[in-house]
Structure 1
Amino acid sequence: MKTVIAEDDGLPALVYVSNKRYLYLGRTQLRIRDLHSAAASLLVCLDGTVKFRASSAQLWNSAKSLLIPAGSRISIDNQGAVLAACYLDAAKADFLLLKRKMESVSDGVYFNLPGERQLADSLIRLRDDAPGFAEAQQRMESLLQQCAGSAMASGDSRVAHVVDRLRHTASLNISVKQLAAEVGLSESGLIRLFSLHVGAPLRRHRLWYRLIDFVELTLAGVPVAAAIKASGFTDAAHLSRCYSAFFGVHFSYAFSRRTNARYVVDACPAGSARDTAPISRQQ
């Protein structure tokens, strides 16, 4: 297993790459751009606070925790805060359970999760322990259960089926008509159901899984141009736009050798058989 060490000899941010719950645990300020999400996420300040404004709002709010629905547009000023972000599992009821505990603002954005300081402390311990992929995912599952106050239940079985199909065939343009037929719905019925439960249009959410496939391929050593093609993006510009919109930072920054981050992946390159041995890379 090859490891690439960044020029900065400080401790790295930790990134657990997953097409279920993707987890970022920062150590220094991350300057976030405007977001146009394709997957719901829980943002937690490990230190400091963020200011945020939904697309239809005029006023800024401050918060230490923020629940962002898939498909939303939001501006964030992190004011020097150190951030953690968990991109939630669309096949489960993560978002629906968490939002019941939080305060609502415009465009379905939620903030001020009860116990957010304890959650931040637990995420700091997770980051500093830097466990393997499986243990990290188990610990994150437990933390989300504690925050939601109940077991993280599955969502609608038809949506779960479509999400699973998108995860494993992201590079393919399987039609909405075919996916709808697989779950016994009309195209319009699936579009409405998917938007209701996931928050983002089906085709946009598929781009999220393409992006995860691209990251996994790149970390496995596949050249960028080949990874772009294999993961289903049109070209480098399409990839860059999606990366910036979904994560709030430029792709060139995220994968720069000057960016101190360790990536842990529990998968072989996209499209191949899953493997139990994690890939650990330090940029």
Structure 2
Amino acid sequence: MEQRWDGSVVLEAGRLLFRGRLGTTHAHAHAAVQVVVVRSGTVELADRYGGRLAVSAAVIPSRATHSLHAEDAQGTVAYYDSDSHVGRALRSRFPTAPGDRVTDWTAAAVQSACPPDAPGGGRAAAAPHPAVGRAIDRVRSRLHGPVTLEEVATALHLSPSRLGHLFAEELGLPFPAYVRWVRIRRAIELVRSGATLTQAACGAGFYDSSHLTRVVHEMFGMAPSQLLRDVQWEPGPQRIRPSGPGLAGAP
């Protein structure tokens, strides 16, 4: 029987943080840098090549396909936005692309001194290249509707190919993947504020709730119904406590 996720979740600028009982995900790849720290029990990570390893800590870069299986495990999982201070620092642990094997993730964790639940660790940072910073601001201000590379590039007086190259170089992921990640974060914020899944999908710019469901499966390895089941929102900014399954694949 698969272990259910059960713990507390914090959503703040640049970071999505889970602490509690870790569960299981199917294979997925997110657009954030993920940190997993196991406090007790057993957690096994699997990569796209069939590599499997029980881990005590791991740093998983964006776009790396993986799955997680836990048995009687407690720990912390954090997702750091690719444009955050910590996200950038953690990406530097992978000097050679693509860093998509489980042994890469455990080696990166050994090099990393930043605990996933350190206060303020998720503060957002401006991208080094001014065009990327302006593009990020434009994306975030237009999540209620379509956001395309061509439209954003035109607004910044750049060619789409140039802006796409800058995103890949500065953030380590394609422009569309970044947009999907920011939309998911916005949908979670809306649900926290009392929106239904359908309302959250619309407000975050997804075509419909089915579209949101597909993207959550792709980036978290589970369905939104599992992600948000029995959620109780704690007082304070952007904080939730699920009593059922929580964020799959989260500190």
TM-score range, shorter chain: 0.7 to 0.9
Q: Does 1:22 align with 2:16?
A: yes
Does the Cα contact within 8 Å between 1:158 and 1:183 map onto a contact in 2?
A: yes
Q: Deviations over 1:43-63 (max 9, x none)?
A: 2223244322322x2322332
Does the Cα contact within 8 Å between 1:13 and 1:262 map onto a contact in 2?
A: no
Moved runs in structure 1, 4+ residues, more than 4 A?
A: 99-106, 115-118, 261-265, 279-283
Alignment-mate amino acid for residue 43 of structure 1: V
Among candidates 86, 92, 96, match of residue 84 of structure 2: 92
1:74 is matched with: 66
Does the Cα contact within 8 Å between 1:93 and 1:155 map onto a contact in 2?
A: no
Structure 1 distance, partners of 2:159, 2:73, is 45
1:160 is paired with a residue of what secondary structure?
helix
Tell me, which stretches of 5 or more residues in structure 2 are unaligned? 1-5, 243-251
Q: Does 1:209 align with 2:182?
A: yes
Q: Deviations over 1:63-120 (max 9, x none)?
A: 2222222222222233443232222132235334224457988437532423879937
Structure 2 distance, partners of 1:50, 1:66, is 10
What is the percent sequence identity of the aligned residues? 20
Q: Does 1:111 align with 2:103?
A: no
Q: Does 1:250 align with 2:223?
A: yes
Alignment-mate amino acid for residue 30 of structure 1: G
1:231 is matched with: 204
Structure 2 distance, partners of 1:248, 1:116, is 25
Q: Which has the larger radius of gyration?
A: 1
Taking a change above 3 Å as real, the CA distance of residues 249 and 186 of structure 1, as seen in their structure-2 partners, is same
2:77 is paired with a residue of what secondary structure?
strand
Structure 2 distance, partners of 1:279, 1:193, is 31
Alignment-mate amino acid for residue 199 of structure 2: A
With the length of structure 1 as denominator, give the TM-score of the two structures.
0.68
Among candidates 75, 90, 95, match of residue 83 of structure 1: 75
With the length of structure 2 as denominator, give the TM-score of the two structures.
0.75
Taking a change above 3 Å as real, the CA distance of residues 100 and 214 of structure 1, as seen in their structure-2 partners, is closer
Does the Cα contact within 8 Å between 2:29 and 2:219 map onto a contact in 1?
A: yes
More helix by share: 1
Alignment of 1:1-283 (within 5 A): 13-18=7-12, 20-25=14-19, 27-55=20-48, 57-101=49-93, 106-107=99-100, 110-112=105-107, 113-114=109-110, 119=115, 123=117, 136=119, 138=120, 140=121, 155-257=128-230, 263=233, 278=237, 280-283=239-242
Structure 1 distance, partners of 2:95, 2:233, is 32
1:35 is paired with a residue of what secondary structure?
coil
Alignment-mate amino acid for residue 69 of structure 1: P
**1:184 to partner: Cα distance:** 4.5
Alignment-mate amino acid for residue 242 of structure 1: V
Q: Deviations over 1:185-212 (max 9, x none)?
A: 3211111221233233211221111111
Structure 1 distance, partners of 2:151, 2:187, is 25
Tell me, which stretches of 5 or more residues in structure 1 are unaligned? 1-11, 127-135, 143-151, 266-276
Does the Cα contact within 8 Å between 1:48 and 1:64 map onto a contact in 2?
A: no
Q: How many residues align?
A: 232
Alignment-mate amino acid for residue 74 of structure 1: H
1:5 is matched with: none
2:248 is matched with: none
**1:34 to partner: Cα distance:** 1.4
Alignment-mate amino acid for residue 164 of structure 1: D
Across the aligned residues of Structure 1 and Structure 2, the Cα RMSD in angstroms comes to 3.3
